[in-house]
Amino acid sequence: MKALLIDPVRHTVTEVEHTGNYRHIYELLSDKLNELEVDTFTAVGLQNGDAIYVDDEGLLKDPRYFFEWRGYAQPLAGRGLILGTDEEGGSIEPKTTLEEARRNVRFGELSVQGFEQITPHTVDHPVFGKAQVIGNRPVFGPPKTRKGN
């Protein structure tokens, strides 16, 4: 099936083939050329029902390359993969077109300076009802200079 791959290192958004197997998501998100292996992923929901899959531990890997999705609150580290979702949570081809994805993505270089604690608050969760939100939010800054860059 068709999927959309966002690559912040190369500043590209391209159509790729996805087998439908969740293990293939790990392969598509990993960047062997830059030695970035993805061990666990998470999904960012889009308004049209599609999702952007990203490395769940991406912010902890001293990332430099990010992309922003218009309307999403923070930059996303590493590659992103856009897939659609059916009623049972399975992957399907995305509703988002290649052109729409290219219009909604902005690339940048940043560094994670640290994390700040989020003030605990309650939100309305679509499955669990009222849910308490606690945790940390990343603090971004200019990219760190590395030898050879």
The pTM (predicted TM-score) of the whole model is 0.84
Query: What is the chain's alpha carbon radius of gyration, rounded to the nearest angstrom?
Result: 16
Pairing of strands 41-45, 129-141: unpaired
pLDDT digit string, tens, across residues 107-148: 999 888 888 888 888 888 777 788 887 888 888 888 876 554
Tokens of 65: 């390359």
Nearest residue to 108 via CA among 61, 146, 60, 74:
74
What pLDDT, on a 0 to 100 scale, did the predictor assign at position 123?
A: 84
Backbone angles phi, psi at 50, to 5 degrees: -75, 170
What pLDDT, on a 0 to 100 scale, did the predictor assign at position 5?
A: 98
Give residue 63's pLDDT band: very low, low, confident or very high (50, 70, 90): confident
Better-scored residue on pLDDT, 73 or 1: 1
Least confident of 79-83, 84-88, 98-102: 84-88
Helix (H, G, I), strand (E, B) or coil at 42: strand
Tokens of 96: 């988002």
Give the start-to-end residue ranges of the domains of the chain: 2-141
Spatial distance between the Cα atoms of 115 and 138, rounded to a whole number of angstroms: 4
pLDDT digit string, tens, across residues 2-61: 999 999 999 999 999 999 999 999 999 998 877 779 999 999 999 999 999 999 999 988
